[in-house]
């Protein structure tokens, strides 16, 4: 999704913006741009494509200014062109605006502004904001008042960076899209996410909904957009190091993040029991429980639903957040919605949370980003322990979410030590899976799979979510069509897809489910499938066998690592960039 960086300070800020935009690349984008205010004018540079190879000194040596904003754009309104890239300027070129979100009523606003003589150069919704602020400045003296008056007319969502060449002010504002304000020694920063400026400061304020920050060289004010009142906001010190947000010597974030999984599991074991108890209280009080999330986080939620059913005798209804609106009217007071999200900014998840709360239900969030919108909205939250995840594909966040469900389930049963013990064993197992020789073996297998048009995966019960997640990973990063099925569904249709040499990953077990999943493996093998077994016991039906230790309900937390690695190595075989797959964004902040 779009990324925003802003700087106002003593130094020349253009390099701060370019570095920050490079750090936000993981969010996914198709073009980028920067604006710098200097000597009473605003300079703009925009480009279609990636910012990775751009060198400010070499490519734009004269570009400078100490009030700057930049943006990586993921096109929504208007094609991928330089004109549509942000920043956008007002007619008098006094105001430059970058925006993440959607101005839903932009067409009406644009028509009104055109009637007043404003000339538009792009097809974007964002450009109306620059002109609207310019219009308001005709009657409002201060930029902050013109911005507030403009935002009152806007329907939709926004994180905004605004600079004014005349008043030498930068403004950040948010509603529905994330924006963080940084306080450094040499200046002030804006970012869609902390890595944008973590190199310069770890002191941040997470702007809340309907909040804006007015930044001047001498200081800043946090203001409520609706009332205009100044707000006292907490400055938070971020514990992540910049190295944490970088590749740590690995060729890609994806492999770096997969290699961190033993540590992630270890950190989860250390979760504060009071945090778990707060969550457990919400669960105990709930009449009905739902788990709502998107993509990989939904698969983790599905794992949680199986775990709470099998280990805690709790009925939990999983719903994809995008489909939640069609069930929302059935949510009642005393119900609990458990949400799972890496970013805590997924628009569909936030929408579901707001509607569940409006119906009187409580919301518990398993979320990875401190200060995220989801964390702020939820009635209770547990911070998952993945740390910063940069690769667009979610790997370590998934494992951390599954591991957190394991801790929660054990806590609910009053047997926290059982959860910790299992997770320690899982950690050991993941470490073994990630050993060099094993990686070589998986790479060889991935080479075999890299030329096929389809891959399938089968799992039953608690392994079913992993069959879905494996195929999501494979399709996201290798662009090979992949589908996961529940073993029991095989004969109800999917088996028609099986023909000679079709690879099928089978998540097997060594418990009462074993017989059934092995039968499924036999059924696909009888139709020519190339069967890859992942589980605690080998079987003659497997052509390839990838071992995991038997850890009961917790085994899937380790076995998923094989599929993540297979997906990664297929991408490498196909010479694809695993960190930034086409068309995908790290956090989906628009519906």
Q: Which residues are catalytic?
A: 2, 586
CA dist., res. 121 & res. 82, Å (int): 11
What the block records as the tokens of 354 is 């707001």
- From the list 42-50, 129-137, 230-238, 583-591, the region that binds ligand M6R by CB under 6 A is 583-591
473 preceded by a cis bond (ω within 30 of 0): no
Position 373 contacts ligand M6R (CB under 6 A): no
Q: Kind and range of the H or E element at 506?
A: strand 503-507
Name the residue nearer to ligand M6R (CB basis): 143 or 347: 347
Position 129 contacts ligand M6R (CB under 6 A): no
Position 584 contacts ligand M6R (CB under 6 A): yes
- From the list 4-12, 39-47, 295-303, 354-362, the region that binds ligand M6R by CB under 6 A is 295-303
Q: Which of 67, 129, 196, 294 binds ligand M6R (CB under 6 A)?
A: 294
CB of 246 to ligand M6R, least distance (A): 20
Region of residue 49 (left: phi > 0; alpha: psi -120 to 50; beta: else): left
CB of 589 to ligand M6R, least distance (A): 9
CB of 172 to ligand M6R, least distance (A): 22
- With helix as H, strand as E and coil as C, how does 143-172 read? HHHHHHHHHHCCCEEEEEEEEECCCCEEEE
Position 295 contacts ligand M6R (CB under 6 A): yes
Closest residue to ligand M6R, based on beta-carbon distance: 295
- Residues 245/195, Cβ–Cβ less than 8 Å: yes
Name the residue nearer to ligand M6R (CB basis): 37 or 394: 394
Position 296 contacts ligand M6R (CB under 6 A): yes
Site string for ligand M6R, 466-485 (x = CB under 6 A): ----------x---------
Position 343 contacts ligand M6R (CB under 6 A): yes
CA dist., res. 159 & res. 175, Å (int): 6
Residue linked to tokens 């390839």: 544
What the block records as the tokens of 39 is 């000597």
Position 349 contacts ligand M6R (CB under 6 A): yes
Name the residue nearer to ligand M6R (CB basis): 341 or 409: 341
CA dist., res. 79 & res. 367, Å (int): 33
Residues near 386 by Cβ (< 8 Å), separated by ≥ 6? 257, 260, 264, 342, 368, 396, 397, 399, 400
Q: Which of 394, 402, 467, 520 binds ligand M6R (CB under 6 A)?
A: 394
What the block records as the tokens of 153 is 């007319």
Please state at what angle helix 556-573 crosses helix 436-449, rounded to 10 degrees.
60
Burial 555-580 (b: 16+ CB within 10 A, else e): bbbbbbbbbbbbbbbbbbbeebebbb
CB of 349 to ligand M6R, least distance (A): 5
Q: Which of 393, 458, 482, 532 binds ligand M6R (CB under 6 A)?
A: 393
CB of 565 to ligand M6R, least distance (A): 14
Position 297 contacts ligand M6R (CB under 6 A): yes
Strands 3-9 and 88-89: unpaired
By CB atoms closer than 10 A (0-12, 13-18, 19+), residue 549 is middle
Position 587 contacts ligand M6R (CB under 6 A): yes
Name the residue nearer to ligand M6R (CB basis): 9 or 581: 581
By CB atoms closer than 10 A (0-12, 13-18, 19+), residue 540 is exposed
CB of 582 to ligand M6R, least distance (A): 12
Name the residue nearer to ligand M6R (CB basis): 181 or 398: 398
Name the residue nearer to ligand M6R (CB basis): 167 or 346: 346
Q: Which of 157, 346, 551, 563 binds ligand M6R (CB under 6 A)?
A: 346
The residues binding ligand M6R (CB under 6 A) are 294-297, 341-343, 346, 349, 392-394, 476, 584, 587-588
């Amino acid at each position: 999704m779009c990324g925003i960086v802003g700087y106002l300070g003593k130094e020349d800020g253009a390099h701060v913006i370019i570095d920050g935009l490079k750090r936000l690349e993981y969010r996914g984008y198709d073009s980028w741009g920067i604006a710098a205010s200097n000597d009473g004018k605003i300079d703009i540079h925009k480009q279609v494509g990636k910012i990775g190879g751009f060198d400010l000194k070499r490519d734009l040596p004269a570009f400078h200014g100490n009030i700057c904003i930049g943006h990586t754009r993921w096109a929504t309104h208007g094609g991928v062109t330089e004109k549509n890239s942000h920043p956008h300027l007002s007619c008098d070129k006094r105001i430059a605006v970058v925006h993440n979100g959607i101005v839903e009523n932009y067409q009406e606003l644009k028509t009104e502004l055109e009637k007043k003589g404003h000339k538009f150069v792009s097809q974007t919704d964002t450009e109306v904001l620059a002109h609207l602020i310019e219009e308001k400045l005709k009657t409002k003296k201060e930029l902050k008042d013109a911005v507030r008056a403009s935002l009152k007319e806007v329907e939709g969502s926004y994180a905004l960076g605004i600079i004014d060449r005349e008043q030498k002010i930068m403004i950040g504002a948010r509603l529905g899209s994330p924006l963080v304000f940084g306080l450094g020694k040499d200046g002030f920063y804006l970012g869609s996410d902390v890595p944008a400026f973590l190199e310069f400061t770890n002191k941040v304020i997470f702007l809340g909904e309907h909040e804006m920050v007015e930044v001047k060289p001498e200081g800043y004010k946090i203001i409520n957009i609706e009332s205009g009142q100044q707000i006292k906001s907490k400055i938070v010190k971020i514990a992540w190091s910049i190295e944490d947000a970088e590749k740590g010597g690995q060729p890609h974030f994806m492999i770096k993040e997969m290699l961190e999984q033993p540590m992630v599991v270890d950190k989860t074991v250390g979760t504060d029991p009071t945090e778990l108890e707060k969550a457990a209280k919400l669960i105990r009080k709930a009449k009905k429980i739902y788990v709502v999330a998107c993509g990989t986080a939904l698969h983790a939620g599905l794992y949680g639903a199986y775990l709470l059913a099998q280990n805690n005798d709790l009925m939990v209804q999983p719903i994809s957040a995008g489909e939640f609106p069609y069930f929302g009217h059935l949510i009642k007071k005393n119900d609990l919605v458990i949400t799972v999200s890496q970013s805590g900014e997924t628009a569909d998840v936030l929408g579901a949370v707001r509607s569940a709360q409006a119906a009187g239900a409580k919301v518990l969030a398993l979320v990875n980003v401190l200060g995220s919108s989801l964390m702020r909205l939820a009635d209770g939250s547990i911070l998952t322990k993945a740390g910063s995840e940069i690769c667009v594909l979610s790997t370590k966040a998934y494992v951390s979410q599954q591991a957190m469900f394991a801790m929660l389930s054990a806590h609910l049963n009053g047997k926290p030590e059982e959860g910790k013990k299992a997770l320690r064993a899982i950690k050991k197992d993941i470490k073994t899976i990630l050993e060099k020789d094993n990686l070589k073996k998986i790479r060889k297998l991935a080479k075999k799979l890299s030329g096929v048009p389809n891959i399938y995966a089968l799992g039953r019960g608690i392994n079913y979510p992993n069959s879905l997640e494996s195929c999501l990973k494979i399709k996201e990063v290798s662009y090979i069509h992949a589908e996961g099925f529940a073993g029991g569904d095989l004969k109800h249709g999917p088996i028609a897809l099986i023909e000679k040499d079709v690879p099928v990953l089978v998540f097997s077990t060594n418990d009462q489910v074993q017989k059934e999943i092995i039968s499924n493996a036999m059924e696909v093998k009888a139709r020519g499938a190339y069967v890859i077994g992942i589980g605690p016991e080998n079987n003659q039906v497997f052509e390839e066998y990838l071992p995991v230790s038997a850890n009961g309900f917790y085994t899937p937390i380790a076995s998923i690592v094989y599929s993540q690695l297979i997906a990664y190595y297929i991408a490498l075989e196909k010479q694809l960039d695993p960190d930034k797959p086409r068309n995908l964004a790290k956090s989906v902040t628009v519906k």
